[in-house]
Amino acid sequence: MKLYRKILALGLTAAMLGLTACGSSGADATSAAESESDTEAAEETSEEAADGQTYNIGICQLIQHPALDQATQGFKDAVTEGLGEENVNFDEQNANGDAATATTICTNFVAEDVDLILANATASIQAAAAATGDIPILGTSITDYGVALDIADFDGTVGGNISGTSDCAPLEEQASMMEDIFPDAQTIGILYCSAEPNSKFQADTVQAKLEADGKTVKIYTFSDSNDLASVTSEACDNVDALYIPTDNTAASYTETINNIALPAKTPIFAGEEGIMAGCGVATLSISYYNIGYVTGQMAVEILKDGADISTMSIRYDDAPVKKYNPAICEELGLTMPEDYEAYEAE
């Protein structure tokens, strides 16, 4: 009997051990399945993260005024549309018109290892170019890249890590339009900031065209806002009309210019819409929002599509618009040709 009980006990023990083994095998299978599921989920999350990469873009804008503001806004709109607003961080910095500050801003962008730099205006792209030869740099609101970057025989492509858009309007056409609007003006002054090389480039082109047409041209340059009023006063005392190119300093102080030119009854033809809105009679102007937007599209091509910036040519707004300032025209008793569009403040 004892022997029977012993055998029975051994049998029950073996059976229990067998059941325990079967239970362990099932748990291991469940654990393996859960582990595989977790791995697949992690891989999917990783793929989603790769698709939704976050891009850090530094924006160095030389100074705040409507034209440059519009270019920056156009850039940001195109980038967020192309990459997704949630995937882009903009570090937007303003140099307040100071080239040294622009240099500091761009140096900090390089230290932060941003994915791309937008350089808005000439001094900004000069600072960015000096700061890095590796991070992609896109410029905007720059009239001539050859002049800005001291490139001899510039052929339309900067090369290296730089490209962008130009704000250059048809300068000779601007000169011709000014002659059409002010047919009695024999002496025309050109007013710009001597610290801006692209302003000089525009002034030289317009001067050559006006002088070829038999006009007398006088050049008036100011170094900064401190001597702007005195130089503007001198110009208004000695010319029949003024031309102001796309000049950042002038664009920031149009009220100062207008407070002198309007009482003196000196009409101004402006190189861009922002200056015209503040102190000018008319303009043949590109859209700064549009060139900013095109620059943003270029950024998407580089960051998302892998485009080679070294082969990207400078792009332009090829549809400038004739506009006039109704308020100033009324003050001066001027009637604009029918093909000019009245400026309306936004």
pLDDT tens per residue across all 346 residues of the chain? 333 333 333 343 333 333 333 333 344 434 444 444 444 443 443 333 335 699 999 999 999 999 999 999 999 999 999 999 999 999 999 999 999 999 999 999 999 999 999 999 999 999 999 999 999 999 999 999 999 999 999 999 999 999 999 999 899 999 999 999 999 999 999 999 999 999 999 999 999 999 999 999 999 999 989 999 999 999 999 999 999 999 999 999 999 999 999 999 999 999 999 999 999 999 998 999 999 999 999 999 999 999 999 999 999 998 899 999 999 999 999 999 999 999 987 6
Beta bridge partners of 222: 193
* pLDDT number for residue 346: 66
* pLDDT number for residue 345: 79
Q: What is the Cα–Cα distance from 114 to 119, expressed in whole angstroms?
A: 13
Contact call for residues 286 and 167 (beta carbons, < 8 A): yes
Burial (0-12, 13-18, 19+ Cβ within 10 Å), 90: middle
What are the two backbone dihedrals, phi and then psi, of residue 203, each rounded to the nearest 5 degrees? -60, -40
* pLDDT number for residue 52: 65
Beta bridge partners of 174: none
Beta bridge partners of 188: 217, 241
Q: What is the Cα–Cα distance from 287 to 301, expressed in whole angstroms?
A: 21
